[in-house]
Chains A and B, each alone.
Chain A
Amino acid sequence: MTQTRSKVTRRNFFKAGSIIVGGIAVASALTPFDGVLFATERPKGKGEWYGIGIDINKCIGCGKCANACKLENNVPKDPFYFRSWVEQYTIKNDGTILVESPNGGIDGFKQSVPDADIFKSFFVPKMCNHCAKSPCVQVCPVGATFETPEGIVLVDENYCIGCRYCVQACPYGCRFINPEKGTAEKCTLCIHRLEKGKNPACFEMCPTEARIYGDLNDPDSKINYFLKNHTCMVIKPNLNTGSKLFYNALSPEVR
């Protein structure tokens, strides 16, 4: 058996290798990963670009948002189809974390852990993050899900083939397959209401104004006021999804 030797000499191999590795190192040094909130990074286009703010300190867990979302958007009533829902996080004294969301919070919450065992408890309303670099948009094989110029991630019902890839890709669990239509479904930020000059249903029905939305491009908008006056954080910032749902007082236990 004859061994065929590669024509690449050892010297050239190391040369090329070190150029590639060095190039990557230089490139990442020039544009390092920064933890700055995505809101500071303006989009290229002009006009409205929506962002959402949720104040966990104000949420009383009434579930009106989840209920309003279901009624406004004809979401199936079964307790596992939600576009918007509320979770109760309970951190116990022994360090375990309990997350509860009975029917998405629509029927109210019952405290399941006695006061004496609770270190801390709070509600976290969840919905689509309308990411600027959405994983769900990137994985769609047919271009049926997309980000509008206003920064709203939508599903094209007539084009979706129901492959469920986006359901898997969303790190926030904000998508599901509609059992009747067989297509992917998600929060639309009530674009049909926005277009008629009304607030999205969940924002409209919140009794404590725990959730607000606004134009990130407008320096005087509600959302920019919210971001400037609160210590905001997104869920799973390490995934670099460009999430535009900013939480005030978000605990690191939330995921």
Chain B
Amino acid sequence: MPQHIKRLVSAFAVVIILFLVMQQVLTPASFGKLGHYRADAIPENEMKTLHYAGSAVCTNCHEEMQTDKALGFHAQLQCEACHGPGLKHALYADKFKDKELPDSLKLHKPDQRKDCALCHEINAARIKIVFDTINNTMIHQVNTLKHNPVNKRTNEKVICIDCHNPHQP
């Protein structure tokens, strides 16, 4: 074999060996176990913290709300849909039974007109039948700007829950 070919071959061999060594060192352990990705990424994704508890947890303490709600049109509405994520509240609120809850554990109280308007504001795309477990009803729609914005006697601003019970509308 000519000298220059020998040099080339040895140079290539060094590069290839270096590549193989680097590949061994740099490739994560679980890469390629299940496919062209790091299999450990699945448990890493599963480790993320939860924020929503699910309504089954709410009824452990707030059973009376559940029974109230079951009679109304909001029966299949999840508690956390309006009150916000409540896993922290569910886990730690028990410790403050007689004391005031700290703000971080308090849940959202949706008492503004815009909160009800999310579902009930009049909209052409919203005229549809919602298959309610109790009745097949149309979703109730109101024009929140025109529907009794002020109390006619006292001239004060009125919010929806002054007249409507949100748990049993």
Say yes or no: is B3 at the interface (Cβ < 8 Å to chain A).
Answer: no
Contact A60 B121 (CB under 8 A): no
Say yes or no: is B37 at the interface (Cβ < 8 Å to chain A).
Answer: yes
Contact A111 B78 (CB under 8 A): no
For the complex, give the distance between the alpha carbons of A60 and B119 in Å.
7
- Please give the number of chain B residues whose Cβ is less than 8 angstroms from any Cβ of chain A in the complex: 41
- Residue of B41, B42, B124 near A118 (CB, 8 A) is B124
Say yes or no: is B38 at the interface (Cβ < 8 Å to chain A).
Answer: yes
A193 to chain B, nearest CB (A): 6
- Residue of B34, B49, B118 near A149 (CB, 8 A) is B34
Find chain B residues with CB under 8 A from A201 CB: 51-52
For the complex, give the distance between the alpha carbons of A208 and B118 in Å.
13
- Residue of A58, A72, A90 near B131 (CB, 8 A) is A58
Whose C-beta in chain A lies nearest to the C-beta of B127?
A: A121
Contact B128 A58 (CB under 8 A): yes
Say yes or no: is A93 at the interface (Cβ < 8 Å to chain B).
Answer: no
Say yes or no: is A4 at the interface (Cβ < 8 Å to chain B).
Answer: no
- Chain B 17-62 interface residues, beta-carbon cutoff 8 Å to A: 28, 31, 34-38, 41-42, 44-52, 54
Find chain B residues with CB under 8 A from A123 CB: 125-126
A53 to chain B, nearest CB (A): 14
Find chain A residues with CB under 8 A from B105 CB: none
Contact B124 A154 (CB under 8 A): no
- Residue of A61, A63, A72, A205 near B78 (CB, 8 A) is A205
B145 to chain A, nearest CB (A): 10
Say yes or no: is B77 at the interface (Cβ < 8 Å to chain A).
Answer: yes
B64 to chain A, nearest CB (A): 21
- Residue of A58, A61, A147, A158 near B44 (CB, 8 A) is A158
Contact A207 B41 (CB under 8 A): no
- Residue of B48, B78, B129 near A192 (CB, 8 A) is B48
For the complex, give the distance between the alpha carbons of A209 and B78 in Å.
11
For the complex, give the distance between the alpha carbons of A255 and B51 in Å.
32
Smallest CB-CB A-B distances: 6 pairs: A146-B37, A156-B41, A121-B125, A192-B48, A121-B124, A62-B119
**Known pairs A58-B131, A208-B131. 13 more at Cβ < 8 A?**
A58-B130, A61-B126, A71-B51, A90-B125, A108-B118, A111-B122, A115-B124, A121-B124, A148-B34, A192-B45, A201-B51, A207-B77, A209-B131
Seen from chain A, the residues whose Cβ lies within 8 Å of a Cβ on chain B are: 57-58, 60-64, 68, 71-73, 88-90, 107-111, 113, 115, 118, 121-123, 143-149, 154, 156-159, 188, 191-193, 195-196, 198-199, 201, 204-209
Seen from chain B, the residues whose Cβ lies within 8 Å of a Cβ on chain A are: 28, 31, 34-38, 41-42, 44-52, 54, 76-78, 80-81, 84-85, 114, 117-119, 121-126, 128-131, 139
Show 24 A/B contacts (Cβ-Cβ < 8 Å), sorted by A.
A57-B128, A58-B128, A58-B130, A60-B130, A64-B118, A68-B81, A68-B85, A71-B85, A72-B51, A108-B114, A108-B118, A109-B123, A111-B123, A121-B124, A143-B37, A146-B35, A156-B44, A159-B37, A191-B42, A191-B46, A193-B50, A193-B52, A198-B54, A204-B54
